[in-house]
């Protein structure tokens, strides 16, 4: 048997000793509303019970009675009673904790149905074939609901194990008359149709996801009772009333706003009235905000804006209020050593490895190449041997044009050589004012020109004009 994780069952199939299929969960996070059985190793010390918890698709679970006294363990695939026919589910819990789950969900004890048998291979094949039809049926039902102009959203479809019935979960703000939709679905799929209306929170639990805290959604992991959440819970916890931060993936207020609101309410009973103004020699001090868990209240002398806030302990605020009631004023809020809150010292450690740096994973920048500095004001020179080997030229600045003694015999030997065919693009400038001849490279001819180098030749950059190889000598003026 294959893995049924893609079908929202969160488990994989193995074989029992009697060759019956068993779905063993690879991880608890794969199952919706998973509960850890911490008494699984102590079942022999507790009285056995015939009540078993069975899970179905997503968050749907049920409690069934093991009337045939089958030996069941967590992960066994069983056939259970349904109306009509039978359904296929996976055992999620056995033992004494099942009664605790019944008390938690509030299920009545007279509503338990029966477990028929362990699922056979034929039952598993039919069950997996029904799972493959769920997505196709959901998409088709959405098209039919749109054609009938029904104001509803079909969020999920679950087929029964024997392929005789399908449950359609939908969301609607108002009452919807879907009788015509049921007729179309029954005629097209030849099954019995059951429509169940759920809320936005139930839909988020069935689909699943990751919350803003980085953990799995509470409604998908463990939360079963959805209590009403109001903005008063956010006000009691001094939270910003930003709808984008207070809303969950379902679009409603986050259920976790109710988790700690009782702690804040109990702590607020020790706080004085925030409408009381503190009289000081510097002027009246107005309440701005408070830290409930640390027992700190912030006051400022400007009632319109929270500037120059002064933190004061709750005990000191009560003392100031009692002094004001007796007609006394305190000198200044800043002079109160008992109520002033000092800044916490920074932790005494040194960041040796650099683990606190935000840029520790960034790629280091390249160091600049010193050969590319001042490239525009440099002059390139090369000898015929260098032009023969590669088109690269040697760079020398205009101040260091004088040749070293090591290069002098090299140029003399090169001057005795006969000109080659590849030297026709070179230009020789005659010496002027006793300078030694220099050989320059004519880039316009294409010899040695780098790719993308469109700069002007050196003689044009330096203000020289290209002249003939043998420039005419300046005629001497006639004698007067």
Q: What is the pLDDT of residues 179-221, one digit of tens each?
A: 999 999 999 999 999 999 999 999 998 888 899 899 989 988 8
- Phi and psi at residue 278, in whole multiples of 5°? -90, 125
The pairing of beta strand 21-24 with beta strand 426-429: unpaired
Give the pLDDT score at 108. Answer: 76
pLDDT at residue 311 is higher than 50: yes
Among the listed ranges 5-14, 365-374, 403-412, which one has the minimum average pLDDT value?
403-412
Are 132 and 164 in contact by the 8 Å Cβ rule? The answer is no
Both ends of the chain: CA-CA distance in Å?
120
Among the listed ranges 33-37, 265-269, 373-377, which one has the minimum average pLDDT value?
373-377
Give the pLDDT score at 127. Answer: 93
Neighbours of 127 (CB within 10 A): 25
pLDDT at residue 80 is higher than 80: yes
Q: In the structure, what pLDDT confidence band is assigned to residue 224 with cuts at 50, 70 and 90?
A: confident
Give the pLDDT score at 22. Answer: 60
**Residue-range domain boundaries for the chain:** 5-118, 127-204, 227-267, 270-325
Q: In the structure, what pLDDT confidence band is assigned to residue 39 with cuts at 50, 70 and 90?
A: confident
Give the pLDDT score at 64. Answer: 94
Max mean pLDDT among 23-32, 139-148, 407-416 falls in 139-148
Average pLDDT over residues 252-261: 93
Chain segment 351-405, per-residue pLDDT in tens: 665 556 667 777 777 777 777 655 555 555 544 554 444 444 444 444 444 444 4
pLDDT at residue 256 is higher than 90: yes
Locate 281 and state its tokens: 């020699």
Are 444 and 436 in contact by the 8 Å Cβ rule? The answer is no
pLDDT at residue 408 is higher than 60: no
The rounded distance, in Å, linking the Cα atoms of 114 and 120 is 17
Chain segment 125-183, per-residue pLDDT in tens: 999 999 999 999 999 999 999 999 999 999 999 999 999 999 999 999 889 998 999 99
Average pLDDT over residues 217-246: 89
The pairing of beta strand 278-280 with beta strand 283-291: antiparallel
Are 219 and 265 in contact by the 8 Å Cβ rule? The answer is no
Element (H, E) at 94: strand 86-94
**Which 8-state DSSP code applies to residue 215?**
S
- What's the mean per-residue pLDDT of the chain? 76
Give the pLDDT score at 299. Answer: 92
Give the pLDDT score at 33. Answer: 78
pLDDT at residue 441 is higher than 80: no
Give the pLDDT score at 148. Answer: 93
Give the pLDDT score at 479. Answer: 57
pLDDT at residue 343 is higher than 60: no
Q: What is the CATH number of domain 127-204?
A: 3.30.300
- Phi and psi at residue 187, in whole multiples of 5°? -70, -35
Give the pLDDT score at 152. Answer: 93
């Amino acid at each position: 048997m294959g893995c049924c994780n893609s079908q929202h069952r969160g488990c994989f199939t193995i074989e029992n000793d009697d060759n019956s299929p068993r779905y063993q969960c690879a991880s608890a996070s794969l199952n919706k509303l998973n509960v850890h059985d911490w008494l699984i190793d102590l079942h022999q010390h507790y009285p056995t019970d015939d009540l078993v918890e069975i899970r179905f698709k997503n968050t749907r679970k049920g409690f069934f009675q093991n009337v045939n006294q089958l030996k069941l363990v967590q992960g066994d695939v069983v056939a259970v009673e349904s109306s009509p026919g039978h359904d296929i589910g996976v055992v999620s819990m056995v033992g004494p904790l099942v009664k605790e789950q019944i008390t938690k969900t509030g299920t009545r004890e007279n509503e338990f149905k029966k477990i028929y048998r362990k699922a056979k291979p034929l039952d598993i094949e039919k069950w997996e074939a029904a799972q493959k039809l769920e997505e196709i049926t959901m998409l088709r039902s959405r098209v039919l609901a749109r054609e009938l102009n029904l104001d509803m959203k079909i969020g999920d479809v679950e087929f029964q194990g024997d392929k005789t019935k399908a449950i359609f979960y939908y969301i609607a703000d108002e009452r919807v008359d879907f009788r015509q939709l049921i007729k179309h679905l029954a005629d097209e799929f030849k099954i019995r149709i059951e429509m169940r209306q759920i809320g936005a929170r139930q839909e988020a639990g069935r689909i699943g996801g990751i919350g803003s805290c980085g953990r799995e959604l509470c409604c998908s992991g463990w939360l079963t009772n959805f209590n009403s959440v109001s903005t008063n819970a956010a006000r009691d916890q001094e939270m910003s009333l930003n709808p984008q931060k207070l809303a969950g993936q379902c679009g409603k207020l986050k259920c976790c706003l109710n988790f700690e609101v009782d702690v804040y309410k109990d702590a607020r009973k020790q706080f004085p009235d925030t409408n009381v103004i503190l009289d000081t020699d510097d002027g009246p001090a107005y309440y701005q905000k408070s830290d409930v868990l640390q027992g700190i209240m912030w006051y400022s002398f400007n009632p319109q804006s929270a500037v120059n806030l002064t933190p004061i302990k709750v005990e000191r605020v009560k003392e100031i209020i009692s002094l004001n009631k007796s007609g006394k004023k305190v000198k200044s809020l800043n002079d109160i050593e008992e109520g002033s809150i000092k800044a916490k010292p920074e932790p005494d450690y040194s960041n040796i490895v650099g683990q606190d740096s935000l840029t520790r994973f960034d790629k280091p920048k390249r160091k600049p190449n010193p050969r590319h500095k001042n490239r525009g004001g440099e002059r390139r020179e090369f000898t015929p041997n260098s032009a023969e080997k590669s088109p690269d030229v040697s760079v020398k600045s205009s101040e260091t044009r004088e040749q070293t003694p090591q290069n002098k015999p090299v140029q003399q030997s090169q001057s005795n050589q006969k000109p080659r065919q590849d030297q026709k693009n070179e230009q020789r400038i005659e010496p002027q004012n006793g300078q030694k001849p220099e050989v320059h490279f004519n880039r316009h001819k294409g010899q040695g020109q780098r790719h993308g180098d469109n700069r002007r030749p050196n003689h044009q950059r330096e203000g020289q004009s290209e002249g003939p190889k043998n420039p005419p000598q300046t005629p001497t003026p006639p004698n007067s």
